Amino acid sequence: MGASTISVRYFILNLLTQQPMSGYDVKRFLKRFSWLIGSPSFGSLYPALRALLHDGLVTVEVIPREDKPPRKIYSITETGREALQEWIRQPVAPDVPLKTFVMRLMVAGNLPHAALVEHLEQRRSQITAHQIDLRQTATAMDDGADLGQCLALGYGLAVANAELTWLDRTLVQLSSQQNGAASHLNSESVSAR
């Protein structure tokens, strides 16, 4: 039950810290990452919004439109911000899947600098361990093994390498300028390839 159950609720809540938006807007935003972590369906999105409203973590502004369902713009409340803070500061299990990691990453803005660094470092050591494990199995099986096995292994290594590179780079940038906002934290990747 837990501390790290990212039910859609907190995810939405985080989006709303940026700016007020409708359920549909939330969906649109999350679509950008659907290939990575998938995006929740309306069937879970709208009920989640209801729940947040009911708990007083968000407010709505209903904008009626003739003959169409009214747009509903949700804004986060002060209580909502507090709830989000409280949730994000919960410690995470040491070994979380990529999806969870990314999700927490998005909420990282509401996290104190030090906690963020710790989170990233935890992930780095985790990935390093898995990387070693993958490499061993990769070399130990050479030839004769199942195609699917090989593919998945190769893919896993590729992603692990990329993630480690990113973590190192980000960690460096984060320590060198732990104050001034987020100045080009992705310059390399944008131009790469």
Partner DNA sequence: ATGTGCATGTAACTGGTTACATGATTCG
Partner DNA sequence: CGAATCATGTAACCAGTTACATGCACAT
Q: How far is the CB of 177 from DNA (least distance, A)?
A: 34
Q: Which does 79 bind (CB under 5 to 8 A by kind): a copy of itself, DNA, none?
A: none
Q: Which does 102 bind (CB under 5 to 8 A by kind): DNA, a copy of itself, none?
A: a copy of itself
**Nearest partner of 107 among 36, 184, 21, 6, judged by Cα:** 6
Q: Which helix (H) or strand (E) holds 146?
A: none
* CB within 8 Å of 187: residues ≥ 6 apart: none
> How many residues contact a copy of itself, by CB under 8 A?
68
**Nearest partner of 32 among 109, 101, 106, judged by Cα:** 106
Q: Answer whether 45's CB lies under 8 Å from 8's CB.
A: yes
Q: Looking at beta carbons only, is 18 or 165 nearer to DNA?
A: 18
Q: Which does 23 bind (CB under 5 to 8 A by kind): DNA, a copy of itself, none?
A: DNA
Find the angle CA(69)-CA(71)-CA(75) to the nearest 5 degrees: 150
Interacting residues toward a copy of itself by CB under 8 A: 14, 17-18, 32-38, 95-100, 102, 105-110, 126-127, 130, 133-135, 137-139, 142-166, 170, 181-186, 189-190, 192-193
